[in-house]
C-alpha cells in the first residue's frame, strides 16, 4: 500500500493543485508496484468531498482523543489500577524507558503483533508483520524525532510470556505533549483487564517522570469498543473525527 497526503496553501486552493498533486502520488504508487492507496482527512471538512472526487472509498472512521494528564486524579488512577489488578493476578509490570533491551526484542516483537486484532473496518490491508528489527527501527525513528519513549509490559509470571503492553512517546521539543502508540493485549491473555491496568499505570509513571506533561493524544477506530471503554474510564475526551479512505490502483 501507499499513503498519499496532500496539503495546499489556503491562498491557492480551488485551482486544481490538490488534484494534480494527488494524481502524482497515485502515479508514484503505481510505479512502485503498490496496489492500494490510503488517505485520511478531518471529517465534515472539504477533505471529504476532495477524497470522493479523487475516486476514494470511505473505509474507516477514527476519533482523536486527548487525555488531560494534569487533571487526572491520583486517587482515581489508583482506584482503577487496583480494581484491574484484582483481575490480573499472576501478571507483573515491566517498565522500559528508551530502547527495548536486546534480550527482550524477540518477545516484544511477538507481543506487539496483537495490534493486528484491532478493528480496521473496511480497509483492505494485510496484517502487519513485526520483527525485532522493525521494533528497533520504530524506536530509532522516534528517538531521532527527539521523543522520550516509555513502554510498560505485562508479563505472565508463571510462563514469562509477554502478555501485553502500552507505549508512549513524549515530545522533547514540546515537553507538555505526548503521543500514545500501541496498546494491545495478546489474545490468550485477554479477560484480565490488562489494558486498563497498563494504561492506568502508564499515567502514574508519566506523572512522576514527566511532571510537566499536560496532553496525551491517542487515536481509536470508532468500532474499537473495548479500547474506547478503557479510554472513557481514564477520562479521555474526543476532540476530532477522521475519515479514512482507500482506492485500489
Q: How far apart are CA 46 and CA 181, in angstroms?
A: 28
The total domain count for the chain is 2
Q: Please, how many CA atoms are within 13 Å of residue 69, restricted to the half-sphere of its CB? A: 26
Same domain as 111, residue 23: no
Residue 238 lies in a domain: yes
**Average pLDDT of the segment spanning 217-236:** 93
How high is the mean pLDDT of the chain? Answer: 96
CATH number at residue 154: 3.40.630.30
Q: Average pLDDT for residues 119-144, to the nearest whole number?
A: 95
**Range(s) of the domain holding residue 50:** 2-61
The whole-number pLDDT of residue 133 equals: 98
Q: Over the stretch 81-110, which tens digit does the pLDDT of each residue have?
A: 999 999 999 999 999 999 999 999 999 999
User: Of 61, 76, 91, which marks where a domain is finished?
Assistant: 61
For residues 177 and 195, state if they share a domain. Answer: yes
Query: Are residues 185 and 235 both part of a single domain?
Result: yes
Calculate mean pLDDT across residues 126-144.
97
C-alpha 132/C-alpha 142 separation (Å) is 16
Pairing of strands 215-221, 177-185: parallel
74 — pLDDT class (breaks 50, 70, 90): confident
pLDDT of residue 100: 98
The answer to the question of residue 106 being in a domain is: yes
What is residue 88's three-state secondary structure?
A: coil
Residues 6 or more apart whose CB falls under 8 angstroms from that of 228 comprise 63, 220, 222
Residue 248 lies in a domain: no
CA 48/CA 45 separation, integer angstroms: 6
Where among 61, 87, 103 does a domain terminate?
Answer: 61
Amino acid at each position: 500500500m501507499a499513503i498519499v497526503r496532500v496539503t495546499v496553501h489556503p491562498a491557492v486552493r480551488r485551482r486544481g493543485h490538490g488534484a494534480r498533486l494527488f494524481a502524482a502520488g497515485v502515479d508514484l504508487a503505481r510505479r512502485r508496484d503498490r496496489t492500494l492507496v490510503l488517505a485520511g482527512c478531518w471529517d465534515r471538512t472539504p477533505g471529504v468531498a476532495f477524497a470522493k472526487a479523487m475516486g476514494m472509498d470511505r473505509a474507516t472512521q477514527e476519533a482523536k482523543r486527548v487525555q488531560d494528564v494534569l487533571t487526572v486524579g491520583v486517587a482515581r488512577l489508583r482506584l482503577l489500577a487496583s480494581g484491574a489488578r484484582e483481575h490480573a493476578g499472576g501478571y507483573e509490570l515491566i517498565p522500559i524507558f528508551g530502547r527495548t533491551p536486546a534480550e527482550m526484542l524477540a518477545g516484544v516483537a511477538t507481543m506487539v503483533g496483537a495490534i493486528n486484532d484491532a478493528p480496521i473496518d473496511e480497509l483492505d490491508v494485510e496484517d502487519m508483520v513485526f520483527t525485532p528489527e522493525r521494533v528497533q527501527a520504530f524506536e530509532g525513528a522516534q528517538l531521532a524525532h527527539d521523543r522520550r519513549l516509555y513502554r510498560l509490559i505485562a508479563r505472565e509470571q508463571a510462563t514469562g510470556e509477554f502478555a501485553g503492553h502500552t507505549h508512549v512517546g513524549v515530545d522533547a521539543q514540546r515537553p507538555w505533549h505526548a503521543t500514545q502508540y500501541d496498546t494491545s493485549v495478546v489474545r490468550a491473555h485477554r479477560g484480565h483487564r490488562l489494558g486498563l491496568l497498563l494504561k492506568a499505570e502508564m499515567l502514574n509513571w508519566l506523572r512522576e517522570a514527566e511532571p510537566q506533561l499536560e496532553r496525551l493524544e491517542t487515536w481509536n477506530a470508532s468500532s474499537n469498543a473495548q479500547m474506547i471503554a478503557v479510554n472513557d474510564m481514564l477520562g479521555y475526551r474526543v476532540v476530532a473525527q477522521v475519515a479514512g479512505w482507500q482506492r485500489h490502483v
